Amino acid sequence: QYINIRDLDEGIGVLSSMLLKKDNYRSMAGGDGACMGCGEKTAVHLVTASIEALMQPRVDKLLTHLDGLIADLDGQARELVASEVDLTDAAEQPGDHADVQLSGGKKETLRLLTESKAELEELKWKYVQGPSGKGRVSLGITNSTGCSSVWGSTYPYNPYPFPWVNHLFQDAPSIAIGVFEGHMRKMGDGFLSVRKAEALAAGTYDDAEFQRLHAEFGWHDFTDEEFLLCPPILSIGGDGAMMDIGFQNLSRLLASDKPIRVMVLDTQVYSNTGGQACTSGFTGQVADMSAWGKAQHGKTEVRKELAFIAMAHRGVFVHQTSQASASHLMQGVIKGLNVRRPSLFIVYTPCPVEHGLADDWAPNAAKLALESRAFPFLTYDPEAGPDIADCLSLDGNPGLDDIWPSYTLEYVDDDGNEASMELPLTTADWAATEVRFRKNFAVLPRDEWNDDTVPFHEFMQLSDDDRTGKIPFIWTLEKDRTLKRMRCSNEMVILADDRLMFWHQLKEMAGLDVPEMVHDTVSWEIEAEFEKKLEALKTEYEAKLADLKVNYPKAVARRMAEGLLALGDGQMTVSDLLTRAESTPGLEPIGPVDGMEPAGGATAVATAVATEEAPSENGAGAAVAEATTAPAVEEDEDEEAFGMEPWIETLRCTSCNECTNLNPRLFKYDDNKQAYIKDVHAGTFAQIVQAAERCPAGIIHPGDPVNPRERDLDKWIKRAEPFN
């Protein structure tokens, strides 16, 4: 009743509502040793819940199919036996039993039917009950040593109600490959039993063909329906396990083409062993082995982008996400679980202990990292098209057209009045909220507020020369909510430059930004083509003007003559009119108008008109009718049809942030923090439909597309229908 999901496999609906079903929510148990507000456990819980929600209906469908096959095989076997019974002979046999003699190959058929039925009954038992009494589980995990193994192995409060194995720090991907092969073989045996039963039930079973299939059957031979029934193998590890010492193992898995799922818990430090620095960390971040001192100000290297490296493997589904948007996280995970290729889920998991956050701050930290471009969302699907721009999607990032999204800072001014200002949410604004970056900021005293202090977002737009002598700062608030300036270190500038470069690279790859070199080349080609077309148009219209100079005066003279004749008695001809004009005393001829001389001069006009006589049968009235009748106005067959604009039932808005997170320029909150559509041209029709699908209140109505050239429009129009 409360699960608002229209199509789970397509990720359509309020995906977080699946947690309202107890079976999904209990995909992980509580009571373990995880830290308060652990970002890792939240991410793992969302992923396991998504897997549980996907697998349950598929298994239910299979069990229904098994029941039907079992009943069918049982009926065929009984019918086969009954067809061979001699009722008179059976009645005369002594004792309580009667023997039945089966003729020909019917005994072998009976054996096949009963064996197949027994195999299906055993398969059903494994799904429903099994050795554990709880049936077959929905997934299995290979885990790397780290935080996830510490709180995941707290006996007897293990949070995983499914099998999992923990190995060395770096070996989880390699273990997953081995587990996957054995797991697929076991699943294949079950699918072969079902296929055999289906063939027997249909009367098409060929034992020789089945034995050949049995010898060669592997996961590549699974149908799509069979593949989706396979509980996924999920390899979990942190930054070090997947990006540092274990990267070789991960790369081997990604290159294997095996549909194994990898989840990277990205905390940017080695959380389990005291917060040592690692290659996933940010410049300026203070941690063990990247301390702050005179010689070095925190971590000096830039962050390793695992998403880029994974995309270089070309055949890997990559989803970079966080709990900043549960719907984005779950939608990408669901899509990654359904592809027949390796999937990599890179999830930013704020660590309250090592990042210096409050226990309840992880969701806010993830959201700030997203909005400041520190950790952008991306999805790379190799099956989406031949070009990288087709495969790479940046949906879920706020303010795609902006360098940074903006926010409203409300404060108390020097006069004690409430005030506010719109500011970009920069990388420095995010970093200032975490203790690991604290040493990069210092309070700027008011007596040092001068022209050399520049807001951080403005400083980032300056050239290197113009930055000399300038001090970048961000606005923060004192306890009394008055404004305060925080000076930013050079490391924060380097970090922001790096994050913006990464963001612009992603936009170029996704086709949202055009490189300057390409822009100049295309502009030159367009200008050359324009000049060519302009020259052709100029030649064409010069020819038309020359023709008008020759023929237009003749036509005007004829029309004037016809009009003058109509004013007379209707019996005069053009020749009579010219004769009368020439005999009129004192009449001076009119000279030609500059630029309108016909060929042959003014005399040619008179001659041309003189040869045209008014119609004689209908008189002057017919001439007037011919001269004054206007052509009928044709109806415009392509008249633009009216479309329905998108709209929101604002008064019913619950302020869930789903639509504003999707595109804050398209969707906006009013003074009551209820959403409305601010600018329909600031986003795409696809974003409006996605917002409607994710809206828990169901109050967004997409209407009709504004841009008829938007990609995949037919698909989005169909998905919009339930909401219009």
**Residue ranges of domains in the chain:** 406-518, 520-580+594-626, 647-723
Residue 724 and residue 718: Cα distance in Å, rounded?
10
pLDDT(680) > 50:
yes
Cβ contact 368:424 at 8 Å = no
- pLDDT value, residue 31: 75
| Closest by Cα among 145, 130, 219 to 180 | 219
Q: Is the pLDDT of residue 675 over 90?
A: yes
Q: Which residue has the higher pLDDT, 89 or 684?
A: 684
For the ranges 525-529, 599-603, 696-700, the lowest mean pLDDT is seen at: 599-603
pLDDT of residue 597: 52
Distance CA 597, CA 593 (A): 7
Secondary structure element (H or E) that encloses residue 204, with its range = none
CA dist 486 and 33 (Å) reads 37
| Backbone phi and psi for residue 402, each to the nearest 5 degrees, phi listed first | -100, 155
Task: Note the Cα 194 to chain centre separation in Å.
Answer: 37
418-474: pLDDT as tens digits: 999 999 999 999 999 999 999 999 999 999 999 999 999 999 999 999 999 999 999
Instruction: Find which of 77-81, 98-102, 331-335 is predicted with most confidence, using mean pLDDT.
Output: 331-335
Whether the pLDDT of residue 698 is over 70: the answer is yes
Residue 166, SS3?
Answer: strand
Least confident among 100-104, 522-526, 554-558, 569-573: 569-573
Q: What whole-number percentage of the chain has pLDDT above 70?
A: 86
Query: Contacts by 679-682 with C-beta closer than 8 Å and gap 24+?
Result: 680/645, 680/646, 680/706, 681/706, 682/401
Residue pair 539/548 in contact (Cβ under 8 Å)? The answer is no
Q: What is the DSSP string of 245-302?
A: TTHHHHHHHHHTT---EEEEEE-SSBGGGT-B--TTSPTT--BBTB-BSSS-BS--SP
Question: 79 vs 74, 75, 484, 658, CA distance in Å?
Answer: 9, 6, 88, 59
Residue 640's pLDDT band, with cuts at 50, 70 and 90, is very low
pLDDT score, position 573: 67
Question: Under 8 Å CB-to-CB from 604, ≥6 apart: which residues?
Answer: 598
- Give the C-alpha separation, 255 to 43, whole Å: 25
Element (H, E) at 555: helix 516-566
Q: How far apart are CA 660 and CA 651, in angstroms?
A: 16
Rounded-to-integer distance, Cα 441 and Cα 242, Å: 31
Over 90: is that where the pLDDT of 534 sits?
no
Lowest mean pLDDT among 179-183, 351-355, 363-367: 351-355
Taking CB atoms within 8 Å and a gap of at least 24, the contacts of 574-577 are: 574/609, 574/610, 574/611, 574/612, 574/613, 574/614, 575/610, 575/613
Q: Is the pLDDT of residue 140 over 60?
A: yes
- Please give the pLDDT value at position 194: 96
- CA dihedral for 74, 77, 82, 85, sign (positive or negative): negative
pLDDT confidence of residue 603: 46
Judge whether residue 659 has pLDDT over 70.
Answer: yes
What's the pLDDT score for residue 571? 66
d(CA 113, CA 107) in angstroms, rounded, equals 10
Model's pTM, two decimal places?
0.80
Contact indicator for 613, 575 with CB cutoff of 8 Å: yes
When pLDDT is cut at 50, 70 and 90, the band that residue 642 belongs to is low
pLDDT higher than 80, residue 2: no
- Quote the CA–CA distance of 718 and 692 in Å, as a whole number: 13
Q: Where are the beta strands (DSSP E) in 323-426?
A: 343-348, 378-380, 392-393, 406-412, 418-424
Question: By percentage, how much of the chain surpasses pLDDT 90?
Answer: 54
Query: Token pair of 311, please?
Result: 């995309």
The answer to whether residues 467 and 496 touch, using CB atoms and an 8 Å cutoff, is no
Mean pLDDT of 335-357: 95
The CA dihedral of 116, 121, 123, 124, to the nearest 10 degrees, is: 140
CA angle 167, 172, 177 (to 5 degrees): 120
Poorest-confidence range of 53-57, 134-138, 453-457, 642-646? 642-646
3-state SS assignment for residue 392: strand
**φ, ψ of residue 531 in degrees (nearest 5):** -60, -40
3-state SS string over 74-128? HHHHHHHHHHCCCHHHHHHCCCCCCCCCCCCCHHHHHHHHHHHHHHHHHHHHHHH
**For residues 420 and 695, what is the distance between their CA atoms, to the nearest angstrom?**
29
CB atoms within 10 A of CB 189: 13
76-85, 149-158, 481-490: least confident range: 149-158
The 8-class DSSP code of residue 352 comes to: H
Residue 496 has pLDDT above 60, yes or no: yes
Tokens of residue 584, six digits: 């009129």
> What mean pLDDT is predicted for residues 192-215?
93
Residue 369 has pLDDT above 70, yes or no: yes
Cβ(418)–Cβ(349) below 8 Å: no
Residue from 328, 345, 73, 370 nearest 199 by CA: 73
CATH classification code of 647-723: 3.30.70.20
The CA distance from 603 to 563, in Å, is: 20
Model confidence over 564-623: pLDDT tens digits? 666 666 666 666 766 776 677 766 665 555 554 544 444 444 444 444 444 444 444 444
Contact of 102 with 82, CB cutoff 8 Å: no
Rounded to 5 degrees, what are φ and ψ at 718? -65, -40
Shortest CA distance to 306 belongs to which of 348, 376, 377, 243? 243
Phi-psi region of 421 (alpha: psi -120 to 50; beta: other; left: phi over 0): beta
pLDDT band at 629 (very low <50, low <70, confident <90, very high): very low
**Residue 602 near residue 589, CB atoms below 8 Å:** yes
